[in-house]
A = this chain, B = another copy of it.
Amino acid sequence: MRILKELPLVPAERALKVLGGRWKVYVLYFLFDGPMRLSELRRQIPDVSQKVLVQQLREMEEHGIVHREVFAEVPPRVVYTATKLGLSLRPIVSALCAWGRRHAAELDVLDDGSPAASPRARKRA
């Protein structure tokens, strides 16, 4: 039953969960280039509500890929940074991005390498 839990793939699930949030790749993308304040992130990612953005940042913080630092200044300043671990995701995000492009391309050409001449027996779709 926990056969699965010992499979070498399980770590992949963890990684997917870490990246899985709707806006996490965007956040990472910007944090890869340096620290950012919440308001800056909101400007860069206009489609996300503040609540959700903060939510995602909290999760990323818990996952150890983002660091949150509070400066107790007059106008409160909060800066988010990618941790070393977070930065280590960069090549993966790049790979995902590259694959996403390929995906789009292949779907267009329908360059499917599998037995393409086989009888597709299902009627749906």
Interface residues of A in 53-107 (CB under 8 A from B): 62-64, 67-70, 72, 81-85, 87-89, 91-93, 95-104, 106-107
Cross-interface CB contact of A89 among B7, B25, B93, B99, cutoff 8 Å: B99
Contacts of A93 in B (CB 8 A): 9, 12
Assess whether A52 is interfacial by the CB under 8 Å rule: no
Cross-interface CB contact of A95 among B72, B91, B115, cutoff 8 Å: B91
Sort chain A's interface into a size bin: 35 or more
CB distance B92 to A96 under 8 Å? yes
CB distance A15 to B103 under 8 Å? yes
Query: How often does this chain occur in the complex, in copies?
Result: 2
Q: Which of A4, A29, A96 is most buried by chain B, counting CB atoms within 10 A of its CB?
A: A96
Closest to A67 in B: B114
Question: Chain A residues in contact with chain B, CB under 8 A?
Answer: 1, 3-4, 7-16, 18-20, 25-26, 29, 45-47, 62-64, 67-70, 72, 81-85, 87-89, 91-93, 95-104, 106-107, 110-115, 118-122, 125
